[in-house]
Structure 1
Amino acid sequence: MSVLDCGCGPGTITQGIAQIVAPGKVIGCDLEPGMVERAAALAEGANLDNLSFQVGNILDLPFEDNTFDAVLSCAVTEHLGEPVKAMSELGRVVKRGGVVGITRTDWAAHMIAPSCGAVNRFFELFESGFNLQGGTMNGGRNLPSMLGEAGLNVVDVLIALSGAYTPEPGNAMVNGWAEWIENLPLFDRVIEEGLTTRDELDAMCAEMREWGAQPGTIAATGGCRVVARKD
């Protein structure tokens, strides 16, 4: 098989695909040159001669029509203002009879226990930040219809919650969300738009970390994973 992982990030998923389909050719592409460099560096020493990385825009991929047997994209289309256009582009580069697999988040469905106001506020502000950029974290439920609109035939749908349960203190997922609040430019943008303040965000991080330090916490978010075929 020949496989494209579109929006590969650091390429950890891409490496796993390359191991599975070897000696089939696998390409990971990402919009950010720095991320492509990081993925290539992380793959060094993995002895994967069938794996390569290159810069590529999911809305205008640098590949001929009907190039790949399978095209994958994980947690990318939620960032886009034109997700159907991206899905059509994935369909263009996959061969007839080939498959397109996409994972798309839907954080409107989530499970947090015990209840935590700071986590709920995080979800609200994170979605507002995505909306300001033209995307959404709550659109996974629309993925099957989007792929159909892009001209692909949906053959399998998995709707699931994924997350973390910690019998011991320290919920890594929620601690990671607190780090996003502190480091992602998206949260600077929501401050600029008057949707929150740095003081509120700092208080949220402290509350989230305190919550995550409790034993027995659950943090899970929803998503939709769809496989579609190009007829």
Structure 2
Amino acid sequence: MKNDYVHGYSNEEATRLHDQAKTLSDLLHNNIKFPAGSRVLEAGCGVGAQTILLAKNSPDAQIISIDLFEESLNQARSLIKKEGIKNVEFVKADIMDLPFEKESFDHIFVCFVLEHTLDPIQTLKKLNKVLKPGGTITVIEGDHGSCYFHPESEQALKTWKYLIKAQKDLGGDPLLGRKLYPILSEAGFEDIVVTPLVVYVDNSQPHMGEGFIKKTIIAMVEGLKNQAIDSGIIKKREWDQGMEDLHKSAEKDGTFFYNFFKAVARK
């Protein structure tokens, strides 16, 4: 289904994903509630960071969460079991080769997955096939091109631009958020509504400085340090200076802006 995940599969990345989900839960999951008795497919559940929010917000829906990697699924199963959640079933499956009958789901949820696929439109077409007529799909993606911050330095920008380059080199699309409407339309969905979800952080929101800037954004960039230096694109002293400068956006006089996009469409 997808090319190599640019952020890797380390324990640190799993922690980052959970920190991100907790910090952005109200923003991303606002109004995402599925009716009792509905059958919901979560495509690409990873370590279950979003799964737990889906399940808690729709306790009477049946959620089938799939992922291609058994290790990630095991982490997700452990999390759901620890929380005592009963309405989730995990299945090892590839989105491009779904083991479900046509038109067997009422709703589909996809979060931070399409940006890592080689062909987002074909991925959406595969999902469309298992959605019932009149059923809905919810897609959430970020857009790394929407990021800006203060204070800004050449070195900090260079580290951020390397993240974008690394994802593109693997065949992904770090700017996918802005393209949700056209790709959903091309995949055959209708009644598409795309909503920009703005994250703006300053010193009046210290919890966001910690949870979003440090534990989500900076942690995501820091995970590429060795790869960036080994590539020869940036020297270690430049990288370290860039990360030091990026941290300043989470300090007293710093600010940070990023745009997510949430699309809801119907078959």
Q: TM-score normalised to the size of structure 1?
A: 0.87
Gaps of 5+ in 2: 1-37
> Displacement, 1:95?
0.9
Tell whether 2:170 aligns with 1:130.
Answer: no
Please say which of residues 26-35 and 110-119 is displaced more in the overlay: 110-119
Name the structure 2 match of 1:11.
48
Higher share in strand? 1
Name the structure 2 match of 1:175.
214
Query: Secondary structure of 2:50's partner?
Result: helix
Tell whether 2:103 aligns with 1:66.
Answer: yes
Identical residues among aligned pairs (%): 25
Code of the residue aligned with 1:195 in structure 2: it is I
Q: Distance in 2 between matches of 1:73 and 1:159?
A: 16
Counting only pairs closer than 5 Å after superposition, residues 81-92 of structure 1 correspond to structure 2 as 81-92=118-129
CA RMSD of aligned residues (A): 2.3
Name the structure 1 match of 2:31.
none
Cα gap change, 1:154 to 1:196, in 2 (>3 Å): farther
Q: 1:55 aligns with which of 82, 86, 92?
A: 92
Please say which of residues 168-177 and 145-154 is displaced more in the overlay: 168-177
> Displacement, 1:192?
4.7
Q: 2:141 aligns with which of 79, 87, 104?
A: 104
Code of the residue aligned with 1:76 in structure 2: it is V
Q: Distance in 2 between matches of 1:205 and 1:70?
A: 40
Cα gap change, 1:188 to 1:85, in 2 (>3 Å): farther
Query: Secondary structure of 2:53's partner?
Result: helix
Counting only pairs closer than 5 Å after superposition, residues 219-230 of structure 1 correspond to structure 2 as 219-230=256-267
Following TM superposition, the consecutive aligned residue runs of length 4 or more in structure 1 with deviations greater than 6 angstroms are none
Q: Deviations over 1:55-77 (max 9, x none)?
A: 22222222221111110111111
Code of the residue aligned with 1:95 in structure 2: it is K
Q: TM-score normalised to the size of structure 2?
A: 0.76
Q: Distance in 2 between matches of 1:8 and 1:72?
A: 9
Gaps of 5+ in 1: none
Name the structure 2 match of 1:197.
235
Query: Secondary structure of 2:259's partner?
Result: strand
Please say which of residues 5-14 and 66-75 is displaced more in the overlay: 5-14
Please say which of residues 195-204 and 36-45 is displaced more in the overlay: 195-204
Residues 184, 192 of structure 2: 8 Å contact kept: no
Tell whether 2:70 aligns with 1:30.
Answer: no
